Amino acid sequence: MTKLRQQMDDDMLAQGCADRTRESYLEAVTGLARFYRRSPDQITDAEIQAYVVHLLRDRQLSWSTCNIVVCGLRFFYHITLKRDRTAFSIPSPRRSGKLPIVLSPEEVQRLLTHAANEKQRTMLMTAYAAGLRLSEVLHLQVADIDAARMTIRVAQGKGGKDRYTVLSGRLLETLRAYWKVARPTDWLFPAPGKAPARPMDRSSLQKAYQRAKRRAGLTKPGGIHTLRHCFATHLLEAGVDLHTIQRLMGHGHLSTTTRYFQLTRHTHAEPGSPLDLLARFDAPPR
């Protein structure tokens, strides 16, 4: 760990930042330094602003993901480097009511089939099968998989809340096959190489999703969070009640879950028009 990285981590510990916040903020600064191939204390505000635009426009990361990056960079430059002010920012999120894009079950199957390797396929399948956020997949531990109760424990999810979600039989088989090869001990999906004591970083899993999507010939926009949207939408289409989906996804408000009604195909009855609900009749002759 570099001196600057250690100093930033110490500053976050002193301010009581949660472990996941520290990881996200450190990763934000590392990503910036890697992009410019320079130490972050040598990067200007204008260059930082250009990097944020790159994340939004070129990499098409979500506003919430970019906001975490900006918060991490502000902490580094304001607290660790003690700069009085910085000029970089992120545009306010658009409130257009735009609905998320979802994949069909057939498209999800194609995506999983075209994952680059077994570990990436298992991670993508876990995100979809359990409706997990990106950070929740990365922070799963081996002990969180409860085969006896067929549940997955999500420790300290969004909002610092624990919850349980479903463990499908098919996913359990895949996880067991993966475990026999990878033999993870603590983190279910540890970082590769010489750093197995920490989970895989966020960008690696995002890249794995985008790579599988390209290989599968899928052109719909969106990142790995699409699989979480698919989880909720496909469960609704299968007839699972809204409150159960809310609990599995860890939504604090039911209104967050109800938007998935607008994404579902009405598989039980597809009238197309109220006219189609009427008994067929012949128009009287004129």
Q: From the candidates 158, 207, 211, 215, which is the catalytic residue? A: 158
Q: Using the 8-state DSSP alphabet, how is residue 152 labeled?
A: E
What SS3 class is residue 180? helix
Looking from the CA of 69 toward its CB, the CA atoms found within 13 Å total 26
Is 139 catalytic? The answer is: no
For residue 2, count other CB atoms closer than 10 A to its CB: 11
Q: Is the pLDDT of residue 282 over 60?
A: no
**Active-site residue (options: 5, 20, 211, 251):** 251
CA distance 127 to 224: 8
For 199-218, the pLDDT digits (tens) are 888 889 999 999 999 999 99
pLDDT in tens, 2-50: 888 999 999 999 988 877 788 889 999 999 999 999 999 999 988 999 9
Among the listed residues 263, 265, 246, 226, the one whose alpha carbon sits nearest the alpha carbon of residue 99: 263
Does 225 participate in catalysis according to the annotation?
yes
Instruction: For residue 113, give the amino acid letter.
Output: T
Q: How confident is the model at residue 271 (pLDDT cuts 50, 70, 90)?
A: very low
pTM over 0.85: no
Annotation says 158 is catalytic: yes
**133 flagged as catalytic:** yes
Residues 6+ apart with CB under 8 A from 245: 131, 232, 235, 236, 257, 260
Of the residues 133, 139, 229, 234, only one is catalytic, namely 133
Q: Helix, strand, or coil here: 139?
A: coil
Catalytic residue selected from 213, 225, 229, 234 = 225
Q: Is 34 one of the catalytic residues? A: no
Catalytic residue flag (residue 228): yes
Domains with residue ranges and CATH for the chain:
3-80 (1.10.150.130), 105-263 (1.10.443.10)
d(CA 205, CA 140) in angstroms, rounded, equals 14
> In whole angstroms, what is the distance from residue 131 CA to residue 117 CA?
21
| Helices and strands per DSSP (H, E), number in the chain | 12, 3
Higher pLDDT, 101 or 120: 120
